[in-house]
């Protein structure tokens, strides 16, 4: 596994006169094809990190290197097309008046010839199941559909890294689940890396790795099972919560984190023994 994102000693503050830093001395790497969930309370610096990663803000100290390119020096249009960012509010990121116009926007910016654009747009919209809606007005779509279009806009540019800045937060649980599984599928087939900034624990639990930010520092990083075992203040996914409830009621269960599959298997086995 080779790292695609390398962040070293990243420090940032919005107001230079204030001592306190929004992000201080952050260092981490993300491997190719990995899904990293970044969690933390409001004000922990999560969204600032997203803006730094795509070059919307400039770090005060430290460096960010994505796919071999230093974010700050080479942040020209070609550098940008390696990274996609999906924002929280799907409403405010649409530029085109139809779905396909919007997907086209990023391609127009790199001056892609028309024939190539048509091909790429068709493919990207099919990947997120929005091809039938290509001539629709984006403002008439549901929240989940809008985020799908936004993701298609990134995919058309064949990015190596997609950053989700609380992109699933405004969706209802059902569209959230559906979009999550679409994204997980895309990671495998298109070999994309994802950094997801989120406070949805179900989403975090399905990531490869979770990184917890608190007051601009990384307090913990590790696999979901490790994180949910050690950070008892985080609300874990349902199966683990059930396990804890059962333990308090005298049930005998292992201390370590259990996924839903493991929990179901265990209860079934127990049933067979009885």
Partner 1 sequence: MNKLILGRYFPGDSWLHRLDPRAKLLAGVYFIFVLFLANNWETYLVLGLFTFAVMRLSDVKFGIYLRGVRPLIWLILFTVFLQILFTAGGEIYLDWGPITISEFGLINGVYIFCRFVMIIFISTVITLTTKPIDLTDAINILLRPLQKLRIPVDELSLMLSISLRFIPNLLDETQKVMDAQRARGTEFGEGSLFRQMKTLVPIFLPLFVSSLNRAEDMANAMEVRGYQSGEKRSIFRQLYWRRRDTLSLFIMILLTTLLIWLRTEGGIGH
Partner 2 sequence: MQLLFDSVTADYQLGPIRSPRVLRSIDMNLKSGSFTAVIGHTGSGKSSLLKAMNGLLIPTDGQIKIGDTVIKAGKNKRSLKKIRKQVGMVFQFPESQLFAETVEQDICFGPLNFGVPLIKAKKMARDVLIQVGLDPIILTKSPFSLSGGQKRRVAIAGILAMQPEVLVLDEPGAGLDPAGKKEILSLIASWHHEKKLTTVLVTHDMDDVATYADDVIIMNEGQIVMHGDKRSIFSEEKELKKWHVDVPDARRFQLRIEQETGVILPQVCLTVEELAEALIEVNLA
4 touches which of partner 2, partner 1, none (CB within 5 to 8 A by kind)?
Answer: none
Give whichever of 1 and 268 is closer to partner 2, judged by the CB atom: 268
- Rounded to a whole number of angstroms, the minimum distance from the CB of residue 56 to partner 2 is 19
The nearer residue to partner 1, 34 or 100, going by C-beta atoms, is 100
Residue ranges binding partner 1 (CB under 8 A): 51, 54, 56, 77, 80-81, 83-85, 87, 89, 91-98, 100-101, 104-114, 117, 121, 137, 139, 153, 157
Dist. CA 265–CA 187, nearest whole Å: 28
How many residues bind to partner 2 according to rule CB under 8 A? 32
Stretch that binds partner 2, among 17-25, 63-71, 107-115, 198-206 (CB under 8 A): 198-206
52-111 residues near partner 2, rule: CB under 8 A: 88
Is the CB of residue 220 less than 8 Å from the CB of residue 230? yes
* Parallel, antiparallel or unpaired: strands 83-86 and 69-70: unpaired
Instruction: Tell which positions 131-160 bind partner 2, by CB under 8 A.
Output: 142-143
Burial class of residue 56 in the structure, from the number of CB atoms within 10 Å of its CB (0-12 exposed, 13-18 middle, 19+ buried):
exposed
- Tokens found for residue 270: 């127990």
Cα–Cα distance between 156 and 118 in angstroms, integer? 10
Nearest to 186, CA basis, from 95, 123, 133, 106: 123
Q: Go through 243-256 and write b for each residue having 16 or more CB atoms within 10 A of its CB, e for each that does not.
A: beeeeeeeeebeee
Which residue, 36 or 201, is less far from partner 2 as judged by CB?
201
Q: Which of 58, 97, 116, 173 binds partner 2 (CB under 8 A)?
A: 173
Q: Which does 97 bind (CB under 5 to 8 A by kind): partner 2, partner 1, none?
A: partner 1
**Greatest Cα pair distance in the chain:** 68
Rounded to whole angstroms, the Cα distance separating 15 from 172 reads 36
Binding residues (CB under 8 A) for partner 2: these are 41-43, 88, 142-143, 169-170, 172-174, 199-201, 235, 238-239, 241-242, 245-246, 249-251, 253, 260, 264, 267-268, 270-271, 274
């Amino acid at each position: 596994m080779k790292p695609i994102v390398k962040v070293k000693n990243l420090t940032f503050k919005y107001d230079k006169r204030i001592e306190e830093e929004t992000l201080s001395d952050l260092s981490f790497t993300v491997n190719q094809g990995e899904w990293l969930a970044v969690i933390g309370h409001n004000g922990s610096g999560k969204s600032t990190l997203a803006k730094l990663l795509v070059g919307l803000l400039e770090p005060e100290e430290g460096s960010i290197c994505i796919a071999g390119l230093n974010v700050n020096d080479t942040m020209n249009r070609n550098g940008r097309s390696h990274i996609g960012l999906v924002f929280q509010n799907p409403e405010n990121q649409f530029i085109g008046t139809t779905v396909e116009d919007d997907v086209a926007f990023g391609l127009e910016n790199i001056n892609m010839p028309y024939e190539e654009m048509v091909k790429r747009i068709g493919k990207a919209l099919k990947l997120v199941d929005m091809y039938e809606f290509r001539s629709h007005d984006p403002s008439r779509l549901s929240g989940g559909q809008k985020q799908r279009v936004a993701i298609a806009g990134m995919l058309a540019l064949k990015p190596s890294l997609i950053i989700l800045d609380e992109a699933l937060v405004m969706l209802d649980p059902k569209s959230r689940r559906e979009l999550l599984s679409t994204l997980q599928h895309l990671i495998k087939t298109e070999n994309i890396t994802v950094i997801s900034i989120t406070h949805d624990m179900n989403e975090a639990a399905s990531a490869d790795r979770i990184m917890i930010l608190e007051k601009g520092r990384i307090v913990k990083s590790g696999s979901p099972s490790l994180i949910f075992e050690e950070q008892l203040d985080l609300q874990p996914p349902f199966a683990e919560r059930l396990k804890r409830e059962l333990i308090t009621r005298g049930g005998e269960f292992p201390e370590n984190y259990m996924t839903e599959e493991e929990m179901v298997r265990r209860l079934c086995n127990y049933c067979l023994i009885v």
